[in-house]
Amino acid sequence: MKYNKTITLKDGRTCCLRNGEEKDGAAVLTNFNLTHQETDNLLTYPDENTFDEKQEAEFLKSMEESENEIEILAVIDGVVAGTAGFHSMGNKYKMKHRADFGIAIAKEYWGLGIGKALTKACIWCAREAGYTQLELEVVAENESAVAMYEKAGFVAFGRNPRGFNSRQTGYQEVVSMRLEL
Ligand SMILES: CC(C)(COP(=O)(O)OP(=O)(O)OC[C@H]1O[C@@H](n2cnc3c(N)ncnc32)[C@H](O)[C@@H]1OP(=O)(O)O)[C@@H](O)C(=O)NCCC(=O)NCCS
């Protein structure tokens, strides 16, 4: 899928929302490792990442060529500030209407409007791809993310009190949310 849009952030800077491409492999891997060490609200720890730069580049290329999946980068002054994307939850008839959404932005860029814009971009693309439901899981204590999702129209449909087991804090409640497209 293709996506390309330039937005103005709350601080006046310009941010380009565009597909990740093969050439972005190293930058996206750097951003992934940074975001996953800056917060305890994501699924994996940096040491659990199995991708190297080449695999990341191949992944981005496959996403760009995909008809129903995407990985969108938020790029500011040539730097990858964050990423968001969705993936099909299965190609069987009973599942192919569902896609799984994920997003992470480096801490120094929080609160500028990137999360909202990336979420909106992914919702638009998921609808274009023909999905009728976009889903996500979020740590209940991640208040800014929960607020952002609710504003985008996501509705909670379940809570798992032992959804994650954090190395730092132990069990984290995880909320399942869905958006009808
Ligand atoms: C959650 C995250 C994606 C939000 O991105 P962001 O770029 O900071 O969000 P935005 O600036 O676009 O703000 C979007 C909304 O989030 C909420 N929000 C953002 N910062 C907030 C804060 N400090 N406190 C409360 N709500 C906040 C607001 O509802 C805001 O909407 P508004 O601008 O209309 O008030 C970002 O903090 C992040 O990547 N965190 C680490 C990874 C993560 O938690 N990912 C989600 C996993 S499910």
The verdict on residue 16 lying in a domain is yes
Structure token digits, residue 52 = 């190297």
Q: Strand pairing of 98-105 and 133-139?
A: parallel
The verdict on residue 92 lying in a domain is yes
* Domain that includes residue 69, residue range: 4-132
Per-residue pLDDT of 14-26, as tens digits, reads 999 999 999 999 9
Per-residue pLDDT of 125-179, as tens digits, reads 999 999 999 999 999 999 999 999 999 999 999 999 999 999 999 999 999 999 9
With a 6 Å cutoff on the Cβ, whether 143 touches ligand 1 is yes
pTM of the model: 0.97
Tally of domains in the chain: 1
CA dist 82 and 32 (Å) reads: 8
Which CATH number characterizes residue 80's domain?
A: 3.40.630.30
Ligand 1 atom nearest the C-alpha of 147 is 29
Ligand 1 atom nearest the C-alpha of 84 is 3
CA of 100 to the centre of ligand 1 (A): 18
DSSP codes of every residue in 67-130: SS-EEEEEEETTEEEEEEEEEES-SSTTTTTEEEEEEEE-GGGTTSSHHHHHHHHHHHHHHHTT
